[in-house]
Structure 1
Amino acid sequence: MANSSLTDEVVRVVRSSGDKRDYQHLTLSNQLKVLLVHCPDSPKAAASIAVNAGHFDDPDHTQGLAHFLEHMLFLGSRAFPEPSAFGHFLNLHGGQHNAWTGTEFSNFHFDCNANALSRSLEFFASMLKEPLLSDNWIDKEIQSIESEFRLKQNDELRRLYQVHKVTANPEHPFSQFSVGNLNTLKNDKHGSLKSKLKAFFNEHYVAQRMRLVIAGPQSLDELTRLAQQYFSDIKQESGPKEPITAPLYLNEQKGVWIKVKPIKVAYRLILTLPLPSIDEDYPHKTTSFIAHLLGYEGPGSLFNALRSKGWVNSLSAGGGISGSNFKDFNINLQLTSSGRRNASHIVQWIFAYIRKIETEGVIDWRYEERRITTEMSFLYQEPTPVGELANQLSVNAFHYKQEDALYGDYRMDGLNHVYAKRLLQEMTAQNARITLVAPDVETDRVAPIYNTEYAIEAISQLQHQLFSSTPENFCCGLPKPNRFLNSRFAPLELEAGGSLPNLIEDSPQLQLWHLQDRDFRVPKGHIYLSLKLPAVTNSAFNFAIARLWSELMIDALNDDLYDAEVAGLHFNIYPTQSGITIHTTGLSAGQIPLMQHLIERALKTRFARRRWHDLKQSLLSNWHSAHQNQPLNKLFAELNQQLQFGLFRLRDLACELEPVSFRQFTVEIAKLFSPVHVTAFAHGDWKRENALQLGQLIKSNLPSSKSASIKRAPIKRIRDFVSQQLLVPSEHSDTALLLYYQGRDDTSMEQISFMLLQQLIHQPVFQELRTERQLGYVAGSQYFPVQRLPGILFFLQSHEYSADEIYQAMQEVIAQQLEVLHNLTLKEWHHAKSVLRQQIRTIDRNLRVRSQRLWGAIQLADTEFNRQQELLSALEHCQLVEWLERIKERLSDKTQLLRLQT
């Protein structure tokens, strides 16, 4: 090994049983710590670098500087001054790059085809060593920061977050504005923006404050060589980083009520319990264990009790911000209107339950159950794509020991009784911050930047007395032993069979498919049941009550199946454009009994009127407020509704459901389940006999003897629309525009043609619309197939330009790209085809992805399961001259163009 690096002593990285990758820790001569990952079967490679610098490091006079630097690093380096050079290279080699800025860390990452790793690392290292930070791009990119800020100016979470900041210690860096905008990022007496960027970069982007991960199919020796070649000359720090010593909250900022008025109608209660940093406790996960007890939703739980009173719709525990010297332990509840009126009593119940946990809950067997389920999650996790893996590991490197790079998120060494007791003793009303979000709260202050109305006041003496007392009829219990934990931790033995699903029953009411997976040998699986119910999708009214029925079923089943969720058995019920789907997933040992329970309960469950009312109101609230602050999302939803039968606008669903009474609902829901046809797919380690058992279970519980047709509804064609320009109402001040060009047919050649188009233009379209012209923060293009009919989207959201101006710019960019394509060389053409070929050939990376792909094929009646081969054949026969002519025709055919705008 070359002298320019120092290899750490050999560290055995703890990994799961099915992990075929090799890991090696390395420290370069400049003290940069590196983790190398040899991924033998991966067609792609990736790298990620985490930097111990985030918005907490912003100078007071230039808040948002860390975020702005993140943007600027991608816009050219000394070695590669062209701002689009890295993105263009990755686009040509099947990859992409991205970054994020957090409180104390920033992260930069990319992936690419494996053969492009060396060159990609050259780009990546250059931007991390010598970014250009040119004045021209500073002036342009500041507009993107402003657009990003305005895009989220009415976002409820950001508005609430800002109240959180202004009610925290102003001496703690959390109180600073993290995103930045034109008002905070500017030249001033402290220097030019460029000089500030350089100073921040020089101080923080140093080897000792970075953790690098490189992953790919290359050998560990080759990855070592690449790390040395490109990263050993990153500069070293001149001195250690100063720790944060200021407390997150002052004494007067604890023991308080914070009342926040939202834009949308919403009722939330957030009980925040400030704790010291929990980083050192990761081997024990004490706060995670306490959160498990508080967030438990089974029989006798706190959630169960509050829900039975009609006060809450959901409860989660344990979330909240955390950092090097603090941890917010949050209990987050979605309230009903009755819960809003009883907020103080809800808080009383929570503190009573915390005291119960303190005296009765911290027991080894409960911790051991949690440890077993967490260990199972680790042992049988599905392989992570290299891009996600590198990103995850670079951040983990700052928080875990080297051997725990993978295992740190799962490690539970034993219950730390002393630490658990100390944490629970700190969970008192005297320390708490109680945030009530409701439209009717009285406020007397406005948080700057996002203009959120709020109030903060001390918890009164009477409330303290209430919170320290036990409620009348306090009936909460702690979790009992989990009956769903099983002892089969190995997959069933393989029986004879192939690698494609087999149709093992095909009757008028049931089509049953089965595949025992031969590659992913884990004791897990997926069962899909699609109930073809024409009545569900023949009107918005029926679809709305089907959606409410699905929510009620999940809610009703929660009590007796929450332990199944904890034990690794998961289920979902949801309406689709053909009826209702039931999906179970997780450890295979208990899934068929779980599915039996779901099927048998499906038509027998009777819902409580109060829960029906609460969930109806929650659903209506979500539908009324959906996409309110994201005009572009509203256009995407409208496009789907315009193109496909059986989909409905959320506002139409809300209008239909609003007047429905409980009695009417119970009468109408029964009509939806006849006629019916069931398509089922069992994929995992199950044998054929298990699948046949599932089929018998389905047939014995069919809701109707009438069989429904399984013929799929056609896709709506743009050429048949009365108007090809649609105005979609939006309350947001931004303008959004979406152009959709629809393919003429669903042949493999047509699909490949649009795929190639997106492959060749998506990066330059983004570069031109967003970076060069600065038309808006969200901009780009996307391949958009509906079922198998291909199409392409061009989209942009802007706070400055009108729809006509955006449309004109898009047409110019499309025309410009067509000109570029006409000058495409045969070398570039064959390269684009090779990149797309590799993407199509990409093997399923885990059981979940394969299940989704095969289930999608079954749903589309693609029972040959040969779409990959058909696409590859079409790609092979696609010729440049013919393709150019075809694409030119598609993009100039206005009868195939749909324009949607807000």
Structure 2
Amino acid sequence: MLKSAYDNRQFNHIKLANGLRVLLVQDPNSIKSACSITFNVGHFDDDKDCHGISHLLEHMLFLGNSNYPRPNEFNDFVSTHGGCVNALTGTEYTSFFYDIACEYEQQALIHLRAMFDKPLFNPALIEKEINAIDSEFLLKQKDDLRRLYQVHKETCNPNHPFSQFSVGNKETFAPFTVEQLQQKLQRLFHGFYQPQNACLCLVSQHDLSITEGYVRKLFSDWTGNCKLTRDAQPALYLASNLGVQINILPLQKAKRMILTFALPEQRTHYRSKPLSVLSHILGDEGKGGLLHFYKAQDWATNLSAGGGIEGSTFKDFNINLQLTDKGITHSDAVITALFSYIQLIKDCGIEPWRIKETATLNQLMWDFPDQAKAIDEASHFSQAMFEYPIHHLVAGEHILDKPDVGIVLQMLEFFCPQNMRIKAVNPSVNVTQTAKWYQTPYSVESISTQRIKHFMSGQWRSSFMLPKANQFLPTCKTSQPVNKNYVLPKKIVCENGLDFWYGQDHKFKQPKGDCFLTFDCPAINEGVQLTTAKRLWVALLNEKLNQKYYQANLAGMHFHFYPHQGGFSLQTNGFSANQLEFCTNLLTKIVIHEDFSSSFAQVKAKQYQGLSNTVLNKPINRLFTTLAVIMQQQNQASSDMIQVMENLTLDDVESTKTKLLNQFHLEGMMYGDWSQEEANQVSVDIKAFRKRHKHSQKIHRGVADIRHNKAISFEVECQHKDPAVVIYFQAPDASLKNVALTILAEQLLATPFFNQLRTEQQLGYLVGSGYIPYNQHPGIGFYIQSPQHSAEYLIDAIHLFLQQITENIDQFNHIWDPLKKGVIKQLMEKDTNLSMKSQRLWMAIGNQDTAFSYNIRMTKTIEEIDFSALKSYLIALVSRQGFGEIILYSASSTQTLLRFPTEVITNIQHFKSNTQYI
């Protein structure tokens, strides 16, 4: 198999006698093993009279088989041995994937094999899982992406399986008895879940011969029992589905236009990648490009080119625009400008250097990727085996070794009004009908001949120029020799208001690096007015920088400029050549006066819209966002920032920037492929920059102290009708032992909490728990969103679960040792790429772990904790001895105040101004 010269993984592809195709990957950087098996079956194969049956089958395979009859036994095994498991039903593929601590690799494979041997399809569990799927469906009722997707389905060829309802719900399953559904599941399972219809990928640090032995031993006796049969697919679109405008009324304050062009399948062109070439040209954000023009006209603020649904016989190419109010009223002119630009491409032709540049960018990303986690590698490869020949399995996503101008121009011919679908998504559209399932209002109308002529008038052609060659492509340079004294970062500058660290990577040996600069500004304590204006300033500057450095981002040199609790941060990462100069230039841009007048209205409107849309998020998201606001001293609520944002002026932004930069503490780190001489030069520049401003100390990031006698509660208003609850327990202190106990307790409770409240009690689809530290202070959160039960009922259920689990905690004694080992494995997990390593080291500095020994100390602490200590911890949590408890809930319109004895927060700002902070 073709692989990059820099790829240190080993690959072996085998095909068993039963037809199962297997890719074995030996990855020395992965501390976990991961496996994914993908079947060439999805909702396209649903029974015509029972939409969602493939999705139900995916769920049922986790709920018991002849070897492991207990529901969720595989999930429980994986989660208590340092891993996670999940599955996905798509249009044409269904995948099951997991990762796990390496020493349990073989046992996990045994569980996986058993899933596809003799599933039980227990009738009682079928009924329960239908409830779970219905909850999943109801959860997405307010999701605009899902609602938009359903309109897409209803406006394509009704005979194509894409038009079918993929999720399923109580209504689609209701016409059938449980026995009939059981028969449908069996028929679908035996028809498609066969070895010759599957591809498996196993990623491990073990030698390939060892993993091949596992797989052959476990999967060779898996026999297929019938021939695979499926009908050929008709065309995705009828003639009447093209050359149309589809108006869609959103729930959120969206102002989008999606221009879709129907194309033939693209897998046969994987070595030429014509759409990648077109995406680079159409999506260019530099001067002379489409987005630059739209912004200048105040028509659009964002453009992306190239997404869209894809299958084995079809491909959509989307140009997705975020419009302004003016853009909505000039929507036909927006489209005319697009076709003017397309005509320019046709007139100029596709110069060969453009394809070569795309190939060079692809090669850079292939040679020096930010390597994915093992579970993501396995998932990708198990599907890729269906789509690429074996010798290009690893290379297929990146290879462009057959450049072909003709194919690019051939694809461009599909970009015409007659082959276009206009989706207008905004609150002012006229609608005449309602999409099924998600009740999305929409309408469809043909594009008139007159409009087509207008689109092709070419009146904007002179406003455009095609992108110039990318000046940021990195030059090859020899990696710097590594000084062992800097393998861990060392502080090379320490003076009033400035700390700067430098380190060299010795593991990944890539020509890459990361630079971090964080500003802690005392002005941030002024409150919501300054926080909101800071957010707007950062957005305005990002707007300028994104346009200026768009090609740098394409060439693998990235920047991130963002606000945080204490002030703001700048990070650059990617190829090390020229990055230090890049970072210094960005630092200069932060300080100098920028004229934001031309973009102020657009960017402010976009920020206002983003803040407004947070109110429409699903209840669980709203509750967790509110929890973070309550718990963190400098965090501000979106509802408060909306009111401020509406009235902000350019002068407010300028004065806020002046306040922030007037006095600050600056801390930075550079880590990667740079010499000590380069680090010294950067530190000189940063010291000179720092001396031009007043210095201060770091900002204390306070955490609300809720360790009171009485629990605290707050009702969060939500647009979604489903009641939801988050109960958060704050640990007594932030000692290593309490952090360790909090992590272990959450790991122990997570699986039974999910099994009891979701699988058995069917309280809702969104049920779970999490370890949630706020500014390093540990805590545990439990959450449920339910379409059936009141918030009070859900609170009772969580409290009852904790009470009963604590009383019966000894039943978990047998998993205590593997659970501890699993947590330790996660703590000691290797970094899979340089950016991950840099982020970890930078976070350690931010947490004052300047010896970079936290994980080692935490591991030792966990090893010393016995089961009795965990029992005492949980007893104290349930009785709230030293713990804090806060209950956040969203209620249905009929809900009254909670009957629980809690301290009720009526106003968050008032609560924060009167609380104590840790």
- Closer, same or farther in 2 for the Cα pair 1:893/1:368, shift >3 Å? same
Question: Counterpart in 2 of 1:436?
Answer: 424
Q: In structure 2, what residue type is equivalent to 1:386?
A: A
Q: In structure 2, what residue type is equivalent to 1:731?
A: Q
Deviation at 1:862, TM superposition (A): 2.0
> Residues of 2 paired with 1:551 and 1:721: CA distance?
42
Q: Is the 8 A contact 2:661 2:693 kept in 1?
A: no
Q: Is the 8 A contact 2:701 2:775 kept in 1?
A: no
> Residues of 2 paired with 1:300 and 1:880: CA distance?
66
Q: In structure 2, what residue type is equivalent to 1:842?
A: E
Question: Counterpart in 2 of 1:367?
Answer: 355
Q: Deviations over 1:584-643 (max 9, x none)?
A: 111011211111221111132423434111111111111111151311011111111111
The answer to whether residue 337 in structure 2 is matched with residue 345 in structure 1 is no
The answer to whether residue 246 in structure 2 is matched with residue 258 in structure 1 is yes
Q: Deviations over 1:540-565 (max 9, x none)?
A: 11111111111111111223211111
> Residues of 2 paired with 1:465 and 1:828: CA distance?
71
- Closer, same or farther in 2 for the Cα pair 1:361/1:720, shift >3 Å? farther
List aligned pairs for 1:462-541, cutoff 5 A. Answer: 462-472=450-460, 474-541=462-529
Q: Deviations over 1:230-283 (max 9, x none)?
A: 222333263344353311111111111111111121110100000011111111
Partner residue of 1:874 out of 861, 873, 882: 861
> Residues of 2 paired with 1:605 and 1:364: CA distance?
41
Question: Counterpart in 2 of 1:828?
Answer: 815
List aligned pairs for 1:130-529, cutoff 5 A. Answer: 130-188=118-176, 192-236=180-224, 238-242=226-230, 244-472=232-460, 474-529=462-517
Secondary structure of 1:834's aligned partner: helix
> Residues of 1 paired with 2:622 and 2:709: CA distance?
20
Question: Counterpart in 1 of 2:637?
Answer: 649
Question: Counterpart in 2 of 1:756?
Answer: 744
Q: Which runs of 5+ in 2 are unaligned?
A: 891-918
Deviation at 1:875, TM superposition (A): 1.6
Partner residue of 1:888 out of 875, 878, 882: 875
Secondary structure of 1:719's aligned partner: coil
Secondary structure of 1:804's aligned partner: helix
> Residues of 2 paired with 1:337 and 1:722: CA distance?
49
> Residues of 1 paired with 2:656 and 2:498: CA distance?
25
Secondary structure of 1:418's aligned partner: helix
Deviation at 1:498, TM superposition (A): 3.7
| Structure 1, 624-633 or 702-711: larger mean CA deviation | 702-711
Question: Counterpart in 2 of 1:852?
Answer: 839
Partner residue of 1:774 out of 757, 762, 776: 762
Q: Deviations over 1:714-736 (max 9, x none)?
A: 32211269961111111110111
Question: Counterpart in 1 of 2:48?
Answer: 60
Deviation at 1:704, TM superposition (A): 5.1
Q: Which runs of 5+ in 1 are unaligned?
A: 1-12
- Closer, same or farther in 2 for the Cα pair 1:627/1:389, shift >3 Å? farther
Deviation at 1:175, TM superposition (A): 0.6
> Residues of 2 paired with 1:788 and 1:750: CA distance?
11
Q: In structure 1, what residue type is equivalent to 2:120?
A: L
> Residues of 2 paired with 1:520 and 1:450: CA distance?
48
> Residues of 2 paired with 1:375 and 1:464: CA distance?
40
Deviation at 1:393, TM superposition (A): 0.5
> Residues of 2 paired with 1:664 and 1:195: CA distance?
67
Deviation at 1:92, TM superposition (A): 2.2
> Residues of 2 paired with 1:672 and 1:486: CA distance?
34
Partner residue of 1:46 out of 34, 52, 71: 34
Q: Is the 8 A contact 2:340 2:461 kept in 1?
A: no
Q: Is the 8 A contact 1:537 1:577 kept in 2?
A: no
- Closer, same or farther in 2 for the Cα pair 1:473/1:231, shift >3 Å? closer
> Residues of 2 paired with 1:844 and 1:472: CA distance?
50
> Residues of 1 paired with 2:382 and 2:593: CA distance?
48
| Structure 1, 186-195 or 207-216: larger mean CA deviation | 186-195
Question: Counterpart in 2 of 1:70?
Answer: 58
Question: Counterpart in 2 of 1:622?
Answer: 610
> Residues of 2 paired with 1:219 and 1:243: CA distance?
42
Deviation at 1:780, TM superposition (A): 1.3
- Closer, same or farther in 2 for the Cα pair 1:576/1:720, shift >3 Å? farther
Deviation at 1:767, TM superposition (A): 0.8
Deviation at 1:790, TM superposition (A): 1.2
Secondary structure of 1:316's aligned partner: strand
Question: Counterpart in 1 of 2:19?
Answer: 31
Question: Counterpart in 2 of 1:544?
Answer: 532
> Residues of 2 paired with 1:808 and 1:190: CA distance?
31
Q: Is the 8 A contact 2:55 2:89 kept in 1?
A: yes
Q: Is the 8 A contact 2:259 2:423 kept in 1?
A: yes
Calculate the TM-score normalised by the size of structure 2.
0.94
Q: Is the 8 A contact 2:288 2:463 kept in 1?
A: yes
Percent of pairs identical after alignment?
33
Partner residue of 1:674 out of 641, 650, 662: 662
Q: In structure 2, what residue type is equivalent to 1:777?
A: Y
The answer to whether residue 90 in structure 2 is matched with residue 102 in structure 1 is yes
Deviation at 1:173, TM superposition (A): 0.7
The answer to whether residue 737 in structure 2 is matched with residue 734 in structure 1 is no
Poorly superposed stretches of 4+, deviation over 4 Å: 720-723
- Closer, same or farther in 2 for the Cα pair 1:246/1:660, shift >3 Å? same
- Closer, same or farther in 2 for the Cα pair 1:361/1:817, shift >3 Å? farther
| Structure 1, 317-326 or 473-482: larger mean CA deviation | 473-482
Q: Is the 8 A contact 1:269 1:332 kept in 2?
A: yes
Question: Counterpart in 2 of 1:10?
Answer: none
> Residues of 2 paired with 1:319 and 1:750: CA distance?
46
Secondary structure of 2:317's aligned partner: strand
Q: In structure 2, what residue type is equivalent to 1:168?
A: C
Deviation at 1:363, TM superposition (A): 1.4
Question: Counterpart in 2 of 1:21?
Answer: 9
> Residues of 1 paired with 2:410 and 2:798: CA distance?
60
Calculate the TM-score normalised by the size of structure 1.
0.96
Q: Is the 8 A contact 2:633 2:702 kept in 1?
A: yes
| Structure 1, 615-624 or 833-842: larger mean CA deviation | 833-842
Q: Is the 8 A contact 2:29 2:832 kept in 1?
A: no
Q: Is the 8 A contact 2:343 2:461 kept in 1?
A: no
> Residues of 1 paired with 2:613 and 2:94: CA distance?
32
Number of aligned positions between the proteins = 889
Q: Tell me the C-alpha RMSD between the 2 structures.
A: 1.8
> Residues of 2 paired with 1:14 and 1:819: CA distance?
57
Question: Counterpart in 2 of 1:9?
Answer: none
| Structure 1, 27-36 or 600-609: larger mean CA deviation | 600-609
Partner residue of 1:799 out of 787, 804, 818: 787
Question: Counterpart in 2 of 1:4?
Answer: none
